[in-house]
Structure 1
Amino acid sequence: MHDIEANKALVRRYFDMFNSGDLAALPDIVSQDYGDKLEGQASGIEVIRSYLLGLKASFPDFTWTIEQIVAEGDRVAVMNRVSGTHLHDFGGMAATGNRVDFAAFQIYRIEAGRLAEHWEVADFAKFQEQLGASPQATAFKAFQAELPGGKSGAAA
């Protein structure tokens, strides 16, 4: 039997830890072989430690704000806001001073009282746009522009 409330509390603790910038509790919160399913990211606690420290280095005020949290079995799903100010280099991009604010959806799998796996879908296009990077045009964006009220200004 899974303790749904304990699982949600663990995810809240993870978010609070990241927001504070103090990762000392990371080994108590994530498993040693933590599997982050973000595209191109390897597994392991040291990878996630480096990832979190890198985010905070580039965006010192980066904050994850939980808007909704639900749990079932060993899974916890979170809809959250991500916000912060780009004050130091990030992914080869010099600091812009721009503020970012975008939505993210995460699912965590809990095992033995620790976060074991993580999946995420986030509005990375909005993130890039807010940094001033021109995201590549996509068929979906072109499609959206053609809709009534789209950015092309076409009326229905």
Structure 2
Amino acid sequence: MTFVQVIDCRTGSVGELNRLMDEWVRATEGKRTATHSIVGQDRTDSAHVVEIVEFPSHEEAVKNARLPETDRIFRELVAACDEAPTITDLDVLRDEQLNKIVVRAFFEEVANNRNFDAADALCLPDYREHDPSLPSGEIGLEESKAANRELHAALEPVVTIESLIEEGELVSARYSFKGRHVGALWGMEPTGREFSATGQATFRCQGGRIAESWWNNDYLGVARQLGLGGR
């Protein structure tokens, strides 16, 4: 279970706290077990600073606390505070990166269930799609739906998400896909051959919907497997 420590401080030396954090990051390189750290300053009380540190588990947090570098930096942090900081230990009950949800739904509904009109609810009306394999390099929502219909009718691809990474409004997807060439595509008649390939896409989300996407699929590898020699 993911574990989080919340360190609540009062200090008139926010710059010193930042310096100590930078020093801790350098000193614990290759040793620390913390995976994510956020430092926030109260907008209504500039002396109130909160640090949130994430660990894979409580056991990993204990290992991190036992590092000599962590102990030294923490003692210096306490000295930089106006009063002793408080620490709250939290077992994470839910951890949902909400933009991942809409991206996963896009792959499931549009790519695998072939419900192309589901894109109307998952994407913004002014959605833009970027793909170097497209003649124009960029298309809108209706053009994207039409392109997907053509591609799926010809190749019947099934997509497997290998990983999703979210940072802010961006979600990066690494995936694999396989299918069979059953319809005319790229000016070629169907070969009936099976294929498998990989791809990567980055999505920009806004308000719980997809605003923009960038795609890179190994269509050259697909074409070679189909005996087309290239696209």
Q: Tell me if TM exceeds 0.5.
A: yes
CA deviation map 1:77-129 (0-9, x unaligned): 01100111110101211001111111101100001221111112222221110
CA distance in 2, matches of 1:105, 1:26: 19
Aligned to 2:16: none
SS in 1 for 2:117: coil
Q: State the partner residue of 2:14.
A: none
Give the SS at the match of 1:92. coil
Structure 2 residue aligned with 1:131: 226
Matches within 5 A, 1:78-93: 78-93=173-188
Q: Report the equivalent of 2:196.
A: 101
Q: Does the aligned pair in 1 maintain the 2:123–2:210 contact within 8 Å? A: yes
**What is the rounded CA distance, in whole Å, between the counterparts of 1:91 and 1:135 in structure 2?**
10
- In structure 2, how many angstroms separate the alpha carbons of the residues matched to 1:71 and 1:63? 23
Alpha carbons 1:4, 1:72 under 8 Å: kept: no
Q: Identity over the aligned pairs, expressed in percent?
A: 27
Larger radius of gyration: 2
Are the aligned partners of 2:117 and 2:145 in contact in 1 as well (CA < 8 Å)?
Answer: no
Letter in 2 for 1:79: R
Identify the residue that residue 99 of structure 2 maps to in structure 1: 7
Q: Which aligned pairs between 1:105-120 and structure 2 lie closer than 5 A?
A: 105-120=200-215
- 1:55: Cα distance to partner? 1.3
Letter in 1 for 2:126: D
Give the structure 2 partner of residue 147 of structure 1. Answer: none
1:43 counterpart SS class: strand
Whichever residue aligns with residue 24 of structure 1, its letter is: D
What are the residue-to-residue correspondences of 1:4-43 with 2, within 5 Å? 5-17=97-109, 18-39=111-132, 40-43=136-139
Structure 1, unmatched stretches of 5+, are 137-156
Q: 2:171 aligns with which of 49, 59, 76?
A: 76
Deviation at 1:4, TM superposition (A): 6.4
Residues 46-94 of structure 1, C-alpha deviations (whole Å, 9 max, x = no match): 011101111111123x111100111000000011001111101012110
TM-score by length of structure 2 reads: 0.54
Give the number of aligned pairs: 133
Please tell me whether the aligned partners of residues 59 and 88 of structure 1 are also in contact (alpha carbons under 8 angstroms). yes
Q: What is the distance in 2 between the residues matched to 1:84 and 1:117?
A: 26
In 1, Cα distance between equivalents of 2:141 and 2:204: 15
Structure 2: unaligned runs, 5 residues or longer = 1-94
Q: Is 2:138 aligned against 1:47?
A: no
- Tell me which moved more, 50-59 or 66-75: 50-59
- Report if aligned partners of 1:59, 1:84 keep a CA contact under 8 Å in 2: yes
* Superposed CA RMSD: 1.8
Structure 1: which 4+ aligned runs deviate by more than 4 Å? none
Q: Does 1:66 align with 2:161?
A: yes
Higher relative contact order (CA 8 A, sep 6+): 1
Residue in structure 2 matched with residue 153 of structure 1 by the alignment: none
